[in-house]
Amino acid sequence: MPDPVIPYKIYLQENEMPTAWYNLRADMKNKPAPLLDPETKQPMTKEALSAVFCEELVRQELDEDTAYYPIPQEICDFYKMYRPSPLVRAYCLEKKLGTPAKIYYKFEGNNTSGSHKLNSAIAQAYYAKQQGLVGVTTETGAGQWGTALSMACSYFELDCKVYMVKCSYEQKPHRREVMRTYGASVTPSPSTETEVGRRILEMHPGTTGSLGCAISEAVETASKHEGYRYVLGSVLNQVMLHQSVIGLEAKAAMDKYGIKPDVIIGCAGGGSNLGGLIAPFMGEKLRGEADYQFIAVEPASCPSLTRGVYAYDFCDTGMICPLAKMYTLGSNYIPSPSHAGGLRFHGMNSTLSQLYEDGLMEARSVVQTDVFAAAEEFARVEGILPAPESAHAIKVALDEAKKCIETGEEKTILFGLTGTGYFDMVSYEKFHNGVMSDYIPTDDELLEARDTLPKV
Ligand SMILES: *Cc1c(COP(=O)(O)O)cnc(C)c1O
């Protein structure tokens, strides 16, 4: 039977877009472990979390029973400006590779922030506004989250204070200016503005910063300013909830044409895009309705799933955030500055960690020169210049498609193309000039970082 003709790009109609986010935890038998108070080691209460986070977001964070959260109308309206995102059939890539595999990717780079992060930024800004807050604080690594949050805050007229990992602040002045265009203030982290920043600078003079450290600064600033709360663009379950819009749209688009993916691949930093992409598919797997292979792809220089331990850990270097049980390298782990793409976080979302622990998802790590080679191979055929983070998923999608050439299998591969790489041209330049290195931490380095794991 010939396949029905599948267009290069499948777009949903506006009336086919998801109207509720999906909370994967509702369908999990083994729920992720609760967040713990860093001092008492008792589960975090709603009240304690509300001192740092917005109330509605705390509710979403702690809720492991409600399967569907209706998306508020204002957020639906904002989504309509840049969603649905296209589900692309990579016909050109398949032809070029000569693979019998069918390759699809869900492209989230079609907005000014250049990534999927806007999906959660707009939700978080909305709830902050609903609560009557003045503004929010946050950290940003490569800059996508800060950009997305700046856009969302300016839309709802909220103040936005961004702590940007110092090496990115210096390497990516253009991202910084996009954020300022949307009215955010941007501070390189670690900074001397916060107690924790000063402490980290004393302990590690000349440090190029890390996400964990910028998180500590943003949390401290939120707690010291009336009317401010801290918001986070990855790692947390509320973020994964908002990002489920990616998977829900992808699944609706595939269902429309009767397509069922065999393998679903996503890059994994803190886990939000991967968690969002796989959510409705994983839900089917958990309910025993269908089976899929899921692959998380992480950098070899920051391999939390493939080489980390499953334990309670701090989400930040300053050790002031709640403890989460997750696959982690230790909150003191600072990836080598020679690591170019994002995905620098030391831990992994607790839901994905539990799914990985239960053998429901696989993980692979890849070195960065292979990642950039894959990015280039993809860009030259499919036209889109991918973000280095996204290229981790591309690398493994290409590997899988190439395997099908040998085996003759006509697998259907779906991967998440999380964003564009226009602000990452310094890294592309290093790759082109042959000066990019493949840093892989030694076992000793990983052991050392693990020393700071809290005793629970
Ligand atoms: C932030 C980011 C990622 C990684 O974050 P997750 O929370 O793991 O999704 C991946 N790709 C792009 C383009 C990003 O901006």
Looking up tokens 């190439």, which residue turns up? 402
Sequential DSSP letters for 395-417: HHHHHHHHHHHHH----EEEEEE
What's the pLDDT tens digit per position in 70-119? 999 999 999 999 999 999 999 999 999 999 999 999 999 999 999 999 99
pLDDT tens digit string along 426-453?
A: 899 999 999 999 999 999 999 999 988 9
Q: Which residues contact 383 (CB under 8 A, 6 or more apart)?
A: none
Q: Decide: 140 in ligand 1 pocket, CB within 6 A.
A: no
CA–centroid distance, 236 to ligand 1, in Å, is 13
- Decide if 317 contacts 332 (C-beta within 8 A): yes
- Dist. CA 238 → ligand 1 center (Å): 15
pLDDT digits (tens, 9 = 90+) for 153-175: 999 999 999 999 998 899 888 99
C-alpha 207 to ligand 1 mean position (Å)? 23
Q: What is the pLDDT of residue 1?
A: 40
Average pLDDT, the chain: 94
Which DSSP string do the residues of 103-144 spell out, in sequence order? EEEEE---STT-BTTHHHHHHHHHHHHHTT-SEEEEEESSSH
What whole-number distance in Å separates Cα of residue 116 and Cα of residue 342? 14
Local confidence band at 2 (pLDDT 50, 70, 90 cut-offs): very low
Indicate if ligand 1 lies below 6 Å from the C-beta of 330.
Answer: no
Ligand 1 atom, smallest distance to 420 CA: 13
Query: Which residue from 234, 277, 305 has its CB within 8 A of the most atoms of ligand 1, so it is best to mutate?
Result: 234
Alpha carbon of 268 to ligand 1 centroid (Å): 7
Q: Is the peptide bond before 335 cis (omega within 30 degrees of 0)?
A: no
> Which range among 156-160, 165-169, 192-196, 337-341 shows the weakest confidence by mean pLDDT?
337-341
114 CA: nearest ligand 1 atom: 13
Instruction: Say how far apart CA 220 and CA 173 lie, in whole Å.
Output: 25
